[in-house]
A and B are shown apart, each in its own frame.
Chain A
Amino acid sequence: MSLPADYLKYPWRRHGMDHDRYGFSNLFERKPVAWPNSARVALWIVPALEFFPLNPSGKPFKAPGSMVTPYPDFRHYTTRDYGNRVGIYRIFRVLDELKIPASVAFNSVVAERYPALLQEVTRRDWEVIAHGVDMDVLHYGGLDEAEEAGQITTSLEALRKASGQPVTGWLSPAKSESFATPDLLAAQGVEYVCDWVNDDMPYALNTASGSLHSMPHSTELSDRQILIDYHFSEDDYVEQVCDAFDCLYAESEKYGGRVLCLPVIPYITGLPYRIRAFRRALEYVLGHDGVWAATGSDILAAWRKAQA
């Protein structure tokens, strides 16, 4: 028995990355970034409003949060819907009381089904991020490129029309992409993408079709990972977010402005027993001088200005 000879061939073994999407860069050897008003940490809150069909195709895999039991899985369907009806309003209230803006990621289907939710965001002058069509319309290697471009158009057109915003941020459902996704996004006017979790700061991606940046949308500090995947308690969530903030805040003195991103899912963080933990974490962060609560597009604009 042996493996095909190609298994020991390494066509991308070279200096830099094994692809052309971006170049290598050491986080600690970059030009320090100055945030507005000399802020040290930009706080970026990203709630995601998602629609999980009752009859998912699961193609090519089921996104986290999808239906679990045999059809009809009303249990998970309504649990997810709880987030969009109740949980998100708890999150909005905390953000309002603490005067924190958000970048809210919408499946376009959610904006169409629940226009009131989109209006909550636009009336506050917060940012709408495109989060694909729904949680069962994934972008993945092997997906026909024209079909994928159509999915992106569907999402962006619906969200741009309904919000009146340019909608320049993108979060792929399940952070799943094809090889072409960044090219297709840039071609349709997207300026930043949240899927590449390899950095704590924004950085430029190469595309075939225009400027595109990666924004540090955290998976490690997401409520899903800490509370659901790792089964940690609400106190642990607060502790880990605060520890992360302390580290970034300390680094900012020497290395320039940092970004603390907290992704929140309303059916996770918006539960009655969890919402106060979210508030406690935010209060801790805001208790420091030099914290700039901002939207993704504002953070990216400030970062780009600092590169000039």
Chain B
Amino acid sequence: MMRDPKLYEFWPYIDRPKITWPNGARIAFWVAPNIEYYELDPPTNPQRKPWARPNPDVLHYAQRDYGNRAGHWRMMEAMDKYGVRGSISLSVALCQHHPEIIEACIERDWEFFSHGIYNTRYCYGMDEAQERAIIEDAIKTVDDATGQRIHGWLAPALTHTERTFDLLAEYGFKYTCDLFQDDQPQPIHVNKGRLISMPYSLEVNDVIAYNSYLMSPRRYGDVLKMQFDQLYEEGAESGTVMCIPLHAYLVGHPHRVGPFADALKYITSHEDVWVATAREIADYYYENYYAGICKLLGMTPGEERA
């Protein structure tokens, strides 16, 4: 085990080169619905049990399933209303289980990225062949279902191995959402190719906000606005990224969707906000800033891999 993973260079949040997003925007704003599938009777990973209770953990399974039956559609309606396309953190088996949801996302030109096969299958303890197998499975599954080559990764249930980021770069992924060290994209050290961290945020992730920080639905809406206000102000110096990571099984409940929609209304009513998907942000960053920032940080820019 490593004491220091050496994922990236230290880079103080002062005097950074100015990033300007398209059309002079100062903040890139994206929304990441996690569309997940949790299994009723999954096998147990030796390092983490899938459920708190013995299978079938009907209560907690059904709480998750609520997102796909009910919550997703409310969340999507709120995003439609304010012109926000989602970048979906997808349990890719959902392509098989619920193509109805996938179709609705394709119709809206939403982006898909991988959140593993199921959110009840963890990477802890996988050997390299196994980790390659789930990456290849994710790429193929989403391509077959949507025609999109996925370029982003958020590990299933945030479970990783030491080699996760090297593999992602090797397979041509452009960004990872697994790292939380910054409010701007940043180059990541990888063996081959290139990879950036995309600001995703656990702090304003609805799971953390509601269930760890115990925020009320209206307070969560206020927190999203405060998060935006600060990043918007700082973005005038150098462009920032704000992400709202969501779970329809939480935010899609009748008492929660209203304050979330209010926050979207607030954010999208500002000038100079680039409402984008994660891939769009990554592409723009690679095209305009990646090489220069690598050089500034003493890193060798990696080549794009197919």
Contact = CB atoms under 8 A, between A and B. Distances in A.
Interface of A: 1-4, 6-8, 10, 12-19, 24-28, 60-61, 140-142, 172, 174-179, 181, 195-200, 219-221, 230-232, 236, 239-241, 243-248, 251
Interface string B232-273: 000000000000000000000111011100000000000000
Given A3-B125, A26-B73, A243-B254, 10 more contacts: A2-B130, A10-B93, A13-B97, A14-B97, A18-B40, A19-B56, A26-B100, A141-B56, A179-B56, A244-B254
A277 B52 CA distance: 32
A65 B73 CA distance: 34
B292 interface: no
Given A140-B54, A247-B254, A3 B62 contact: no
A18 B68 CA distance: 13
Contacts of B41: 12, 18-19, 179
Q: Which of A13, A140, A236, A240 has the most CB of B within 10 A?
A: A13
B63 A10 contact: no
Contacts of A220: 253, 255
The interface residues of chain A, by DSSP majority, are classed as loop
B73 A2 contact: no
B70 interface: yes
Given A14-B96, A15-B96, A140-B54, A174 B59 contact: yes
Nearest to A179: B56
B143 interface: no
Contacts of B93: 10, 13
B66 interface: yes
Interface in B54-75: 54-56, 58-59, 61-66, 68-70, 73-74
Interface residues of B, number: 52
A15 B97 contact: yes
Contacts of A244: 253-255
Given A198-B65, A220-B253, A177 B58 contact: yes
B255 A241 contact: yes
Contacts, number: 142
14 contacts: A3-B45, A3-B126, A6-B43, A15-B99, A24-B97, A24-B100, A26-B69, A27-B70, A140-B54, A195-B62, A197-B66, A219-B59, A239-B216, A247-B255
A17 B56 CA distance: 14
A220 B61 CA distance: 14
Nearest to A178: B56
A156 B182 CA distance: 57
A116 to B, nearest CB: 31
Nearest to A24: B98
B117 interface: yes
Nearest to A176: B53
Contacts of B54: 60, 140-142
A3 B66 contact: no
A237 B257 CA distance: 16
A236 B258 contact: no
